[in-house]
């Protein structure tokens, strides 16, 4: 990551020098508009290298993130589900399913979208009614409701 920042600084400096060269009365290595265009391109590349780092990058304590629209839609649905009783319906389904639910099971049995099912189950997890468990072999996450799981 440090190499990206250094390369970004070098590109910005080189771009600035090209723009200064464009404004000089006697251009040294480049001539005219070409120096300006190359300067702007290098400054853009330098800013890209300094600010980007893949999906997220940390810069001076700030965090820049890029999230796909589908993930953002799921987050928005989690904050404002269309059916306010959907988490309660998910709890009822969890009690019928021996305390373990997946998003797809919840969506099918409650006849809601996957985003709404995720939002309902996430709300249950946020409130402490469930925890998320990921199966190592399949990678499928399950929401476990200890209150409704069979006792040993």
Domain boundaries, the chain: 2-65, 69-148
pTM: 0.47
CATH number for the domain formed by residue range(s) 69-148: 1.10.10.10
- State pLDDT tens for residues 13-38: 877 776 776 666 665 555 567 767 77
Rounded to 10 deg, the angle between the 103-110 and 114-126 helix axes is 120
- State pLDDT tens for residues 60-95: 445 445 555 555 565 665 555 467 889 999 999 999
Residue of 80, 97, 95, 87 lying closest to 122 (CA atoms): 87
Gap between the Cα atoms of 106 and 122, Å rounded: 12
């Amino acid at each position: 990551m440090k190499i990206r920042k250094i390369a970004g600084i070098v590109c910005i400096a080189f771009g600035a020098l090209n723009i200064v060269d464009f404004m000089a009365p006697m251009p040294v290595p480049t001539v005219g508009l070409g120096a300006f265009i190359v300067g702007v391109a290098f400054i853009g590349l330098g800013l890209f290298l300094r600010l980007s780092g893949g999906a997220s990058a940390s810069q001076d304590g700030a965090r820049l993130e890029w999230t796909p629209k589908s993930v953002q839609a799921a987050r928005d649905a989690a904050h404002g589900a269309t059916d306010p009783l959907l988490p309660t319906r998910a709890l009822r389904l969890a009690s019928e399913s021996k305390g373990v639910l997946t998003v797809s099971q919840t969506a099918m049995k409650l006849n809601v979208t996957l985003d709404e099912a995720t939002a309902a189950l996430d709300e249950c997890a946020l409130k402490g009614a469930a925890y998320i468990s990921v199966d190592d072999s399949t990678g499928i996450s399950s929401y476990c409701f200890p209150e409704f799981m069979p006792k040993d």
